[in-house]
Structure 1
Amino acid sequence: MARAKHTLNECIALRIARSKRDVFLTRDFASLSGEDQIIRALRVLVGKQKLIRLGKGVYAKARLSSLTGMAVLANPEGFLSVAQQALERLQVVWEPSDAQRAFSESRSTQIPANPVLKVKGRFSRKLRYGSNQLVIERGAKPTESGCRAEVGNAIRRRRAELGLTQAFLADLSGLRRHTISDIERGMPGKLSHEAVRRVMIVVGLSPGLPPFKPKHAKRALWMAANSSSVSYRRAITPEVLGHTLSTGDLSAQFIPQVGTFLEEAPVPLLVMAVEEAAAGQRIAPHVVWRNVALLADRLDLVRSGLFRRALLTKSSPR
């Protein structure tokens, strides 16, 4: 019996599922059919919550939130990371904005309401996710990534400060443990810029901005509490969220808010919230990570597997 041919929608969905990319352009599927047919097929996949449309001809891989049942970005690092990938795919040179640079270097505590990137050259396309729109600044110049050894040392120091093992950091970054090891040792010629960039963002370092000062936790719990309370009548406070993370004690009235935070918060925000909670209670970050893993298991979250490595860490990583 002859095998039935896949429809265009099925072919595109299959190609997306098999790809390691988070961002797709209309031209990625040009070999499958004409442009009009591809656009219609992508519109159907957006309707089926397989994709999220970011802008004209730009789409992001989606997953269903286990709490709301709505489509959210599959990339755990959030909209800013997806927007950066979109610019790279569109061959637009970018760098962190002046506001991000000031925040990373602890010269400011002000956090832009929308993600901001600085670009070089002409770029007029709008990129949007939900109520967030990418804000574009002009005048970027290509930046040097810096010495590999300096990058590796900075990442290793931050990983230890954050209570993360190499294996746990690899899971949070979507990489393999040996890749983290290679990055920290500054292995030449073996690492992609994307892998290094991804790890730096997770641990709170700004890519391409030596001397790679860490983005220490400032208002992470405030941001986490506010974003996780949007869909609920009762708002959790930063103090309650910090206490929950640092002790593992979860009040029944805040189960939805804590679950939303652990399940849907961008990984960099999650990391900074754990760091701030640990500092506030003067305990080691790996203790907070252990509580996060136990809470995720208790709430039966999809991300519980992501945090499971924390249960294996019995002392501060080095």
Structure 2
Amino acid sequence: MNITDRIRRSVRGRTDLVFRPAEFLAFGSEASVKRALKELTRIGVLVRLGVGIYAKAKPSVISGKPIPVQPLETLGPQALTKLGVRPQQSLQTSDYNAGRTTQVPTGIVVNVGKHRVSRKIGFNGRFVQYERT
């Protein structure tokens, strides 16, 4: 069984939705793992959310192209957690949920606390925005 098949089986059996290449280094060298992830992205098992961040994929009902199994609002904070950042609700979201405002927050904004994040996490032209407090 080659590395691509081993990674595919591992991804299928996990409950995680977001993956980093470092999680698969037990299967082979860094270069071979990256090649296998690129192949899995090409065939539609995974989608790339950013540099070194992949998510499980499913075919789109409309176009048939691979899309993430969950929306970016769910996958963005999970990806940040894998990177060592503790994401929280944005200030606008917490104000809306507490009833302090009636303005519905738009976009995907995540509060990253005091962390400085410059990484782009997104899919199909939509990206997570970061808010620091």
- Aligned counterpart, 1:127: 121
Amino acid at match of 1:129: F
Larger RCO, structure (CA 8 Å, separation 6 or more): 2
Q: Give the SS at the match of 2:37.
A: helix
Q: TM-score, normalised by structure 1?
A: 0.40
Q: Is the counterpart of residue 92 in structure 1 residue 85 in structure 2? A: yes
- RMSD of aligned residue pairs (Cα, Å): 1.4
Question: Radius of gyration: which is bigger?
Answer: 1
- Aligned counterpart, 1:105: 98
| Partner Cα separation in structure 2 for residue 89 and residue 108 of structure 1 | 33
- Aligned counterpart, 2:47: 52
Q: Is the counterpart of residue 118 in structure 1 residue 111 in structure 2? A: yes
Q: Is the counterpart of residue 33 in structure 1 residue 28 in structure 2? A: yes
**Higher helix fraction: Structure 1 or Structure 2?**
1
Identical pairs, percent: 26
| Partner Cα separation in structure 2 for residue 100 and residue 49 of structure 1 | 33
Deviation at 1:67, TM superposition (A): 3.2
User: Cα deviation per residue 1:227-269 (whole Å; 9 max; x = unaligned)?
Assistant: xxxxxxxxxxxxxxxxxxxxxxxxxxxxxxxxxxxxxxxxxxx
Q: Is the counterpart of residue 72 in structure 1 residue 78 in structure 2? A: no
Q: Is the counterpart of residue 136 in structure 1 residue 130 in structure 2? A: yes
| Partner Cα separation in structure 1 for residue 14 and residue 29 of structure 2 | 21
Amino acid at match of 1:79: L
- Aligned counterpart, 1:63: 58
| Partner Cα separation in structure 2 for residue 105 and residue 111 of structure 1 | 13
| Partner Cα separation in structure 2 for residue 104 and residue 43 of structure 1 | 40
> Runs of 5+ in structure 1 lacking a partner?
1-5, 140-318
| Partner Cα separation in structure 1 for residue 63 and residue 105 of structure 2 | 26
| Partner Cα separation in structure 1 for residue 118 and residue 6 of structure 2 | 31
- Aligned counterpart, 1:42: 37
**Higher strand fraction: Structure 1 or Structure 2?**
2
Q: TM-score, normalised by structure 2?
A: 0.90
**Off by >6 Å, runs of 4+ in structure 1:** none
User: Cα deviation per residue 1:97-154 (whole Å; 9 max; x = unaligned)?
Assistant: 1121223234132432x30001032322210111210000112xxxxxxxxxxxxxxx
- Aligned counterpart, 1:23: 18
Deviation at 1:22, TM superposition (A): 0.4
Amino acid at match of 1:108: T
Amino acid at match of 1:97: S
Q: Give the SS at the match of 1:28.
A: helix
Deviation at 1:31, TM superposition (A): 0.7
> Runs of 5+ in structure 2 lacking a partner?
none
Amino acid at match of 1:131: G
| Partner Cα separation in structure 2 for residue 131 and residue 104 of structure 1 | 27
